[in-house]
Chains A and B, each alone.
Chain A
Amino acid sequence: MKSIEAPGAGSGRRISWRGVISAVGPVLALLLITLLFAMIQRGDSFLTPYNWRTIAVQTVITGTTALGLAIVIVAGGIDLSVGSVAALAAVSAGMAIRDWHCPLEIALLIGVGIGVLFGLFNGFLVVGLRVVPFIATLGTMNIARGLAKRRAGNTMVYAYDPNDPLAAAPEWFDTFLHADAGWPFAPGVWILILLTVATAIVLRLTVLGRHWLALGSNEGAARLSGLPVWRLKVSTYAVGGLFAGLAGMMLFANGHAVGNPVSAVGLELQAIAAVVIGGGSLGGGRVSILGTLVGALIITVLKNGCVHAEIASETQDILIGAIIIAAVAVDRWRRQGA
């Protein structure tokens, strides 16, 4: 079995304790947080299966976005536009159904396609115009948000007329992210698990994935060894856009086929937090796909747990901020010693 950590982090023959901590770190953190909330909860509902199924569906959108972002980040880039792109994709899918009377499946493809297009556009800006990724995607973040609002006429896009009982999204779509739909998890959660496995396989077991890692570890070396650097870069942004489009379709499902142009504000930051909590390095070259998923889960568990512990909303924000800093601090300590 191939190690899921980046090369160099743990190729030793002896068991390195720091290595073990780095591998299970995020999972351990999740366990600790879970135990903590289990102890301080005021009722007895935190550890019920229903609550964990709720947490699972709440993780899907952030998790999906974070997976795509993990690929962008491991290759040394960043994509701030994913939240806006997700909203634009949701609005576009809604309009495809409402105005063009597309079948739902086609509308979903259109939405995902918009995500990929924006990803390619990001790649073009970074590679073609040589704008640093942070700035390029900051720009497209605003462009995508503006387009979403403009196309939607600045309001919600109802794909199906709420007053028409005959016009409604199909059952599977409506309950895609319902905690109660499916056993043990809703369809959306299974999709997230599948996406996680697929991303991990592509990153660890394919030539493309290896090249992404190489690019993120040392761009100069990658160039010298003849890797097609610009194509690789564009491909990571396309993947980021693809996942943002998928996340947009999940937003669309979660809103019961309503495209909201101002939704998912700050989704990109949550996704970045998930990648970082999961052990990814913003400098590129190192990421954990499973860790990213666990990172997204940690964010959701924190919010959910605070409600069960009857901690007010304001305090939740402080807690989440502290956890992000702690995760990065531990990560740094771990790498210095490794």
Chain B
Amino acid sequence: MHFGFARALGLLLFLLAVAGCGGGRESKPTTQGRPLTFIGFDANPQLIAALKSGELQGVVLQHPLLMGETGVKTLVRQLEGGEAPAEKTISTGEVLATPENMESPEITDRLNPPKAEHSEGVTAAAKPGGKVWRVMVIPKGTSHEFWKSIHAGALKAAQELGNVEILWQGPTVQDDIDQQRQIIENAVASKVDGIVLAPADSRALVKPVEGAIAKGIPVVIIDSALDSDKTVAFVATDNYRGGVLAAERLADLLGKKGKIILLRYPPGSAATRDREKGFTDTIAKFPDITYLSQDQDSGPDAESARAASQNLLSRYRGEVEGIFCPNESSTQGMLGALREAGMIKKGSR
């Protein structure tokens, strides 16, 4: 009897506390006259729709198709005894898509890159008598649209070269370092001819990669840097510059003045770290742009990013004027949270 009572009393006290302390504070304006500026990184169908409707004011686009293609082609050239690439770092370029320029042909191509539909490896027919190179391509994850395009690029290279078999193996959880390590070890054990890897961590994977190289399996790094000079090449977006582009766009739209949020991606990935660095370095040039928050991370997927964004928006509603998210899942999560909070409206600009 008394337990039910005590429990009810506890709940009542709690509700009173919340109601009592919270009353009368809600009437904050949701915006202070200025529309919110929201810049993201990478695209997927929902983000493209948001760009079109003006909810997003810009996304930095990479060129995953070219990245996958160049990664495989560079590796095969090495396997066939060709010259090492003149530059160890090969940039595949980055552009800023905005609601204004998104109809232009070069942007539409980047917005809707081809995507590989199936995750199984695809065998390319060998030339008669020729050697078929078995190339393991290891993305950081498999669910982001970005990796589907990398995969398409790798398959495109295989198709054009005609003597390459692509083995596509990604970790089940985005950025799972241990799983990537296992995949690399398995690749070595199954005697693939070469590896194209997007490392989830710039240091933790150095050992397994150098182990593979020591066994005569060349490795090309794509997307995100690895702290090793033994790899064939590094094919990637200039992520730092991508962050700079985002920051310039944000500063431009804010009139070089305002309060902003940077929702980071969890530490470990060099690509997002460089984007964040490019962003913060550029923002530092504008003394009137200040951070409301820059020490929260989005977690690994869109759901976790959404929860993190909800918490941030609940905290800084009515204050925040600009937001940057450094990858697809964080941008997606933030978009959902902004819509929910009624802080962005279609066609607000």
Contacts and interface: CB of A to CB of B under 8 A. Distances in A.
Nearest to B168: A154
Given A34-B18, A303-B307, A50 B317 contact: yes
B280 to A, nearest CB: 15
A153 B307 contact: no
Nearest to B264: A313
Interface string B127-156: 000000000000001110100100000000
Contacts of B11: 27, 290
A221 to B, nearest CB: 25
A179 B46 contact: no
A48 B20 CA distance: 10
B7 A23 contact: yes
- Of B3, B9, B17, B172, the most chain A CB neighbours within 10 A belong to B3
B117 interface: yes
A243 B231 CA distance: 48
Interface in A154-213: 154-156, 158, 161-163, 175, 178-180
A307 B293 contact: yes
Interface string A133-154: 0000000000001100100011
Interface stretch (A51-59, A74-82, A225-233, A322-330): A51-59
B336 A155 contact: no
Contacts of B214: none
Given A20-B2, A31-B14, A303-B307, A313 B49 contact: no
B229 interface: no
A27 B14 CA distance: 8
B311 A262 contact: no
Contact of B340 (A158, A178, A312): A178
Contacts of A15: 2
B143 A51 contact: no
B182 interface: no
Interface in A103-123: none
A273 to B, nearest CB: 15
Contacts of B172: 145-146, 149, 262
Nearest to A267: B303
Interface string A234-268: 00000000000000000100111010111111000
A52 B21 CA distance: 11
B17 A23 contact: no
B206 interface: no
A44 interface: yes
B173 interface: yes
B312 interface: yes
Interface string B296-330: 11001111001110111011110000000000000
A45 B46 contact: no
A38 B21 CA distance: 9
Interface string B1-31: 1111011011101100110011101101000
A292 interface: no
Given A5-B3, A24-B7, A179 B18 contact: no
Contact of B118 (A38, A50, A57, A153): A153
Contact of A48 (B26, B117, B341): B26
Interface residues of A, number: 65
B26 A54 contact: no
Contact of A255 (B10, B115, B303): B303
A283 interface: no
A179 B295 contact: no
A307 B119 CA distance: 38
Interface in A294-338: 303-304, 307-308, 310, 312-313
A3 B142 CA distance: 49
Contacts of A35: 17
A34 B22 CA distance: 12
B342 interface: yes
A44 B49 CA distance: 35
A1 interface: yes
A89 to B, nearest CB: 14
A28 interface: yes
Contacts of B141: 262
Interface string B36-58: 00000000111011001000000
Contacts of B300: 265
A49 interface: yes
A30 interface: yes
B85 interface: no
Contacts of A262: 141-143, 172-174, 301
Nearest to A150: B119
A34 B13 CA distance: 12
Nearest to B117: A153
B26 A50 contact: yes
A161 B49 CA distance: 10
Nearest to A27: B10
Given A149-B172, A154-B142, A304 B3 contact: no
Contact of B6 (A23, A45, A161, A261): A23
Given A23-B10, A48-B28, 12 more contacts: A5-B3, A24-B9, A51-B314, A52-B18, A57-B310, A145-B172, A155-B142, A162-B46, A264-B303, A265-B300, A307-B308, A307-B314
Interface of B: 1-4, 6-7, 9-11, 13-14, 17-18, 21-23, 25-26, 28, 44-46, 48-49, 52, 115, 117-119, 141-143, 145, 148, 172-174, 264, 266, 293, 295-297, 300-303, 306-308, 310-312, 314-317, 336, 340-342
Interface of A: 1-5, 10, 15, 19-20, 23-24, 27-28, 30-31, 34-35, 38, 43-52, 54, 57-58, 145-146, 149, 153-156, 158, 161-163, 175, 178-180, 251, 254-256, 258, 260-265, 290, 303-304, 307-308, 310, 312-313
8 shortest interchain CB distances as A-B pairs:
A27-B10, A24-B10, A307-B311, A312-B295, A162-B49, A313-B297, A23-B3, A47-B21
16 contacts: A19-B3, A20-B2, A34-B17, A48-B25, A49-B22, A49-B26, A57-B310, A149-B172, A153-B118, A154-B119, A161-B45, A163-B49, A179-B310, A262-B141, A263-B302, A307-B314
